[in-house]
Amino acid sequence: MKRVALVLLLLLALALPAAAQLPPNPAVVDPALFEEIGTYGGELVLGLSAAPRSFNFYGVIDNNAYTVLYNILDPLVAENPATGELIPALAERWEVDETGTQVTFYLRDVLWSDGTPFTADDVVFTMVHVVMNPNAEGNSVDRFTLGGQPVLWEKVDDRTVKAILPSPYGAFTRVLSHALMVPKHKLEPYIAALNRGVEPGTINQAWTTDTPVEDIVGTGPFVLSEYIVDQKITLKRNPYSWRVDPEGNQLPYVDRLVYLIVQDPEVMLAQFRAGEIHRITITGQNYPALKREELAGANYRVLTGSPVSPTPSPPHLSFNWDVDDAEKREIFRNDKFRQAMEYTIDRHRIIEDVYNTLAIIPGVPVLPANKAFYNPEIEKIMRPYDLDKAKELLEELGIVDRDGDGIRELPSGRPFELTLTTAVNVQAHNDIAVILKNEWDQLGIPTHLQLISSALVGERRSAGEFEVMIEAFGNQPDPQLRKAIWQPGRALYYWHRSTMDENQQPVLENMVDWERRVFDLFELGEVEMDVAQRKAYYDEWQEIYADKVPVIFIAKGMELAAVSNAVGNVFIQENGQIIGTNYTAFIKQ
Amino acid sequence: MARYILRRLAIMVPMMVLISILCFAVIKLQPGDFTTQYLTDPRVTPEMVAQIRARLGLDQPAPLQYWTWVKGILTRGDFGYSFAYKRPVQELIWERLGWTVVVAGATMLFSWVVAIPIGIYSATHKYSFLDYFLTFIGFIGVSIPSFFLALVLMYLSLRLGGTAVGGLFSQQYIGAPWTWAKFVDLLKHLWIPLIAIGLSGTAGLIRLMRANLLDVLQAQYVVTARAKGLSERVVIYKHAVRNAINPLISLLGMQLPELISGTIVTSIVLNLPTMGPFFYDALINGDQYLVMTFLMFSAFLMLLGNLIADILLAWSDPRIRFE
């Protein structure tokens, strides 16, 4: 009997997919990602809202391509999906020297999915010729350029790579977590700098949607198996995957990962309900119906997670400091005015009415769940809903109803009216706009709503053609990654465009004092390597933003997902966050 | 006849040139270009946008861009390159042509096969109950937007326990080799687009067929035919229908471009892997050569469809001669 069991066990071990091909030093993924140890087999089916434009991570700027490719490619340093902390990925460990300008990476001994060893050459190739190649459409040149000087990459030996920074760079490892490694042996022929007669930009034509799937190799948990144009992408397990669960089983658990391409969100929801798709992201509007069905015994569960990721982007309110009307321009630039307007925003009501209570008070804009950067001081600074205070401040500014017609006049005597612009196709923004309009109308500031398509909103914003706007930008874990928005003088600091010249370079003399300070804080935070000191800089930035309210953050929607009960290891963690990666999910038998 | 066809084909050349200029002008008149979508992306720096514009030639004057595109077609048969997909546009269109033609062809076949007999029946049984009933259905078909009908059908299918919502296949059959089960699965999915897209066309055709036939049935030659003692079958099918169907043949020619453009919104709602949604995205994103090639292809089919309709008309109606 015992012998039979032993034979069975042996057979089982053989049947286990590719266990023999584990690298010598596999990485055990964070136990926090598991509810239970999974079983092998089956396929996980997810939805994708549009076909990827390419399978080249650096050839396109396309979120759908990124979604697929994050299963296939790995960075040197990754973000832990459970905590957001940086953890070793293709680099087993790394060291920063005492000057803060030399970072040495020790690479993991792994193979590409076609069996070729991953080496230091791949890292140098990826960084120098792809990530920092200005002709690659999805490049990250700006993230690896400091004060005009590029980061240099040097191969020390096959397993060791050194990065030489022009100056210390606090967010270096964080930005590196977005730089996925690509194989030199596959992509070298597309690089103009390495081949005579190859045009610059040819790299973008590598790994397009018609490339044979065998040529698209990676180190991630999955590899591409099949692409049916506009319908379906199938990935299969990478036999050389280097991730294992806490019991040493090679991940992923599922045999195949399938993305069904479904453009219409309603159809995606219908397919989820029909059991075709295992897991989807839902909105606050869908939540009540799905929850009801769950309680009535449907074969799926709805998860409400506390916000940790950049999306859904939290909406904010902005006033155009460069609006044509000179008098309004003065008003909008006055801190007191914007503070008065913050008092008119009833965030709790918005959370209740607009989000079905599925939202939280946002940070400014660092999320409360972001332990590394959140500054709790801002909670004391943010102004609660208080119309009396708002009126008081408006009166101090001379915005008073002098002729008794119920409409407040500007100091010049003109009636004070506002035009509030937002995207008509974003339901939450529309609803918030209506609530604000009612509030302001009653306050004696007649407000006109301008609800236009989001593309037009983008244009108005870039052209500075608006008075008041509701917009939304995501909140990344590290503020450095969003300096293009929040640092004055940058491309997306749209409410005060005159801080930027026509070459889109910052103009310091056009910034007010606290904007100058914010500008400096971002510059300081960028080159600081000391974690505590970096946090101090960004703490000060958050306090300034909370007090001076260049933009007023309104709410942050919770992360909502619905997942089939057939899928294991997708759950809510103790801190309220949704956990569930494609390589730890498994199909229950 | 051959000379006529040749002449018509020759006229198509300047027509296509004019259409292409017009299309390009309209594309250029819309605000923004391919890079506009990146202006709002915090990951994309202004330098990157400038780089992309320069690489794609979008910083050149519009007439020069047009000329470069036309030159590519004339000298190399190259219809340009998709900004989004980094691939030649003709390849991208070719990849999607198959399913597009299958779906559009099937719906067209569906509406013609259903509409013509019903139209004939309605006309020959004027003011009967079934005539009223079918005319009523026809009115509903004309007035309901097809994307809405698609949603209703999907909802009903889901409520009745069906799982065939959207797409042409269940997940496991997408890309699988053809089997009987896969074909059955296709039929399970295909009926929704057939009805949703086809119904409005069907309804229009029924009304047209009915009206035409009623006109013809009044004609003196029909009275003569009946007086001669011909059977009703011969009177209707050999004499009346053959004359009544002429305007519909012209219509058929006009429908040829619909084979590729079809109904965009309905295809998005039904998640069909056809050209419609693909074209829509290209239009939204300012993927200009893809849009141009698509429009040119559509215009070409329109001209070709008209020519084919004229030839068919000559064949079916001896009164029409070209010389």
Looking up residue A93, the CATH number of its domain turns out to be 3.90.76.10
State whether A470 and A547 are in the same domain. yes
Vertex B126: Cα angle to B120 and B132 (nearest 5): 95
In a domain, A490, yes or no: yes
Using CB atoms, which residue from A53, A260, A276 is nearest to B163?
A276
State whether A250 and A368 are in the same domain. no
The predicted-structure confidence for A324-380, as pLDDT tens digits, reads as follows 999 999 999 999 999 999 999 999 999 999 988 899 998 888 988 888 899 999 999
Confidence at A7, pLDDT banded by 50, 70, 90:
low
Q: How far is B55 from chain A (nearest CA, A)?
A: 8
State whether A338 and A398 are in the same domain. yes
Does A447 have pLDDT greater than 90? Answer: yes
The one-letter amino acid at A332: F
State whether A357 and A271 are in the same domain. no
State whether A523 and A479 are in the same domain. yes
Does A311 have pLDDT greater than 80? Answer: no
State whether A255 and A112 are in the same domain. no
**Chain B residues touching A462 at Cβ < 8 A:** 39-40
Which residue, among A176, A62, A482, has the nearest Cα to A310 in the 3D structure?
A482
Q: Minimal Cα distance from A55: which residue of B?
A: B85
- Helix B89-124 to helix B288-316 angle (10° resolution) is 40
Does A551 have pLDDT greater than 90? Answer: yes
Q: What is residue A1's predicted lDDT score, i.e. its pLDDT?
A: 47
Q: How many domains does chain A have?
A: 3
Q: What is the mean pLDDT of residues A214-219?
A: 96
* Cβ contact A461–B41 (<8 Å): no
User: Residue A360 is part of a domain; what is its CATH number?
Assistant: 3.10.105.10
Residue in the structure block whose two tokens are 């048969």: B77
ipTM: 0.86
In a domain, A139, yes or no: yes
Residue A421 near residue A452 (C-beta atoms within 8 A)? yes
Q: How far is B200 from chain A (nearest CA, A)?
A: 22
Spell out the residues 6+ positions from residue A409 whose beta carbon is closer than 8 angstroms to its own.
A399, A400, A401, A402, A403, A415, A416
Partner B contacted by A96 (CB < 8 A): no
Three-class SS of A497-544: HHHECCCCCECHHHCCHHHHHHHHHHHHHHHCCCHHHHHHHHHHHHHH
Q: Minimal Cα distance from A269: which residue of B?
A: B165
Spell out the residues 6+ positions from residue A208 whose beta carbon is closer than 8 angstroms to its own.
A54, A55, A56, A59, B85, B86, B87
The predicted-structure confidence for A52-82, as pLDDT tens digits, reads as follows 999 999 999 899 999 999 999 999 999 998 8
Q: What is residue B255's predicted lDDT score, i.e. its pLDDT?
A: 81
**Chain B residues touching A474 at Cβ < 8 A:** 42
Confidence at B240, pLDDT banded by 50, 70, 90:
confident
Does A19 have pLDDT greater than 70? Answer: no
In a domain, A219, yes or no: no
State whether A90 and A175 are in the same domain. yes
Confidence at A20, pLDDT banded by 50, 70, 90:
very low
The predicted-structure confidence for A393-426, as pLDDT tens digits, reads as follows 999 999 999 988 999 999 999 999 999 999 988 8
Q: How far is B189 from chain A (nearest CA, A)?
A: 13
Residues of chain B above pLDDT 70, percent: 98
In a domain, A4, yes or no: no
In a domain, A129, yes or no: yes
Which residue, among B169, B165, B161, has the nearest Cα to B151 in the 3D structure?
B165
Q: How far is A5 from chain B (nearest CA, A)?
A: 35
Spell out the residues 6+ positions from residue A253 whose beta carbon is closer than 8 angstroms to its own.
A38, A39, A40, A41, A583, A584, A585, A586, A587
Q: What is the mean pLDDT of residues A430-446?
A: 95
Cα maximum dimension of chain B: 85
Q: Is A14 left (phi over 0), alpha (psi -120 to 50) or beta?
A: alpha
Using CB atoms, which residue from B39, B158, B271 is nearest to A458?
B39
Does A569 have pLDDT greater than 70? Answer: yes
State whether A193 and A117 are in the same domain. yes
Q: What is the mean pLDDT of residues B116-121?
A: 90
Where do the domains of chain B lie, and which CATH numbers do they carry?
97-282 (1.10.3720.10)
Q: What is the mean pLDDT of residues B77-81?
A: 88
Spell out the residues 6+ positions from residue A550 whose beta carbon is closer than 8 angstroms to its own.
A318, A338, A495, A496, A515
State whether A357 and A260 are in the same domain. no
**Among the three residues A187, A204, A221, which one is the final residue of a domain in this structure?**
A204
Range of the domain at A482: 315-557
The predicted-structure confidence for A363-375, as pLDDT tens digits, reads as follows 888 988 888 899 9
Instruction: Indicate the SS3 state at residue A225.
Output: strand
Confidence at B18, pLDDT banded by 50, 70, 90:
very high
* Cβ contact B31–A50 (<8 Å): no
The predicted-structure confidence for A218-271, as pLDDT tens digits, reads as follows 999 999 999 999 999 999 999 999 999 999 999 999 999 999 999 888 889 988
In a domain, A174, yes or no: yes
Q: What is residue A17's predicted lDDT score, i.e. its pLDDT?
A: 46
Q: Minimal Cα distance from B285: which residue of A?
A: A455
* Cβ contact B175–A232 (<8 Å): yes
Partner B contacted by A209 (CB < 8 A): yes
* Cβ contact B31–A54 (<8 Å): no
State whether A429 and A488 are in the same domain. yes
In a domain, A66, yes or no: no
Q: What is residue A3's predicted lDDT score, i.e. its pLDDT?
A: 55
Q: What is residue A125's predicted lDDT score, i.e. its pLDDT?
A: 97
Confidence at A4, pLDDT banded by 50, 70, 90:
low
Partner B contacted by A56 (CB < 8 A): yes
**Chain A residues touching B43 at Cβ < 8 A:** 61, 140, 484
Q: Minimal Cα distance from B32: which residue of A?
A: A459
**Chain A residues touching B32 at Cβ < 8 A:** 455, 459
The predicted-structure confidence for A118-174, as pLDDT tens digits, reads as follows 999 999 999 999 999 999 988 999 889 888 899 999 999 999 999 999 998 888 998
Confidence at A105, pLDDT banded by 50, 70, 90:
very high
State whether A517 and A389 are in the same domain. yes
Q: How much is the mean pLDDT over chain B? A: 86
State whether A289 and A372 are in the same domain. no
Q: What is residue A14's predicted lDDT score, i.e. its pLDDT?
A: 46
Beta strands in A350-443 (DSSP E): 359-360, 418-423
Q: What is residue B246's predicted lDDT score, i.e. its pLDDT?
A: 82
Confidence at A96, pLDDT banded by 50, 70, 90:
very high
Which helix or strand (DSSP H or E) is residue A331 part of?
helix A326-333
In a domain, A510, yes or no: yes
Which residue, among A183, A21, A206, A170, has the nearest Cα to A90 in the 3D structure?
A183
